Structure 1
């Protein structure tokens, strides 16, 4: 009987390859997933303890939100760079960063201008993810990020400026 789903075929091929011969690519992808989820619970002993991005706490505004200092265009660029990593799956990532709807993600990624998509939930969730990863990896802030912190100390507005109505009285 033929398998009904592609995932059933992939699982069967993976188990077959593991039993017959060890294939480096299949082993690496499985090891990556296992190490990423259990590195803090007793993997190999390392001289420097790694911090998981989920464990990083960020500063919040008085209203409890995390201030955003990267433009939506910068976040889209970071997402596109993340998509080039081997084994990256958008649907898994969207679930991991806050159960983001794929339609929302698609609309956000289709935007073109630097500030378009600021009201989209994907923008905020992805920014928080990238900020936590930056801190966990010990990387420094970008020049644009530092400039935005000076110009907008409470963070960038989470609204699409093109879609805002301005009413003036005459």
Structure 2
């Protein structure tokens, strides 16, 4: 009957023990090569921390949830928008790649957005394509709150847009419009 395991086939040979078979230097003694030991992974988690908190952060600091943050002008629907539609679509696509992300749950959470409206916004193209869509405003508010909750800095493009569009980005689609100069 053939052996079922590798360990039954390959028996380790101890080369440090003098055996009568390997007395001369010309004899070849088969040796089993052991795989290299794996290195332990290094973690950013502080020692003794079971909460997963990163080094340098205190466990006493409560982390705010995105929905607890209130933005100036949000209640009136008068929040100034500084990301264009392409940026928002890019952020949504990145969000969709996260495990266990469900678009319908997210649309419900950001303001009960209709799936048809969301689909039209995602199919639009260009920096102002879909700017009048409700998904654009609701998604911008969500991503701004998440940015603040995570303590992330504004991007250089965002800072440039704040300087260029003092009253926020236009919320109407500019495709098909005549511009007089």
Write the mapping of 1:1-170 to structure 2, written as runs, cut at 5 A: 46-60=59-73, 65-164=78-177, 166=178
In structure 2, the CA distance between the partners of 1:64 and 1:109, relative to structure 1 (3 Å rule), is closer
CA RMSD in angstroms comes to 2.1
Structure 2: gaps spanning 5 or more residues:
1-57
Change (3 A) 1:88 1:64: closer
Q: Distance in 2 between matches of 1:167 and 1:46?
A: 55
Partner of 2:19: none
Deviation at 1:64, TM superposition (A): 5.3
Q: Are residues 105 and 64 of structure 1, via their aligned partners in 2, closer, same or farther at CA, if it must alter by over 3 Å?
A: closer
How big is each residue's C-alpha offset from its partner over 1:66-123, in whole Å with a ceiling of 9 and x where there is no partner? Answer: 1000000000000000000000000000000000000000000011212211000000
1:39-86 superposed Cα distances (whole Å, 9 cap, x missing partner): xxxxxx93221001111111229x751100000000000000000000
* Structure 1 counterpart of 2:39: none
Length-normalised TM-score, structure 1: 0.67
- Output the CA distance in 2 between the equivalents of 1:46 and 1:66: 33
In 2 relative to 1, CA 161–54 (structure 1 residues): closer, same or farther, beyond 3 Å? same
Find the residue that maps to 1:80 and give its secondary structure.
helix
Q: Which consecutive residues of structure 1, in runs of 5 or more, have no partner in the other structure?
A: 1-44
* Runs (4+) off by over 6 Å: none
Give the length in aligned residue pairs. Answer: 122
Distance in structure 2 (CA, Å) of the matches to 1:104 and 1:73: 16
The SS at the match of 1:119 is: coil
- Which has the higher Rg, Structure 1 or Structure 2? 2
Instruction: Work out the CA distance in 2 between the residues paired with 1:81 and 1:127.
Output: 14
Task: Give the distance between the partners of 1:125 and 1:64, measured in 2 at CA.
Answer: 10
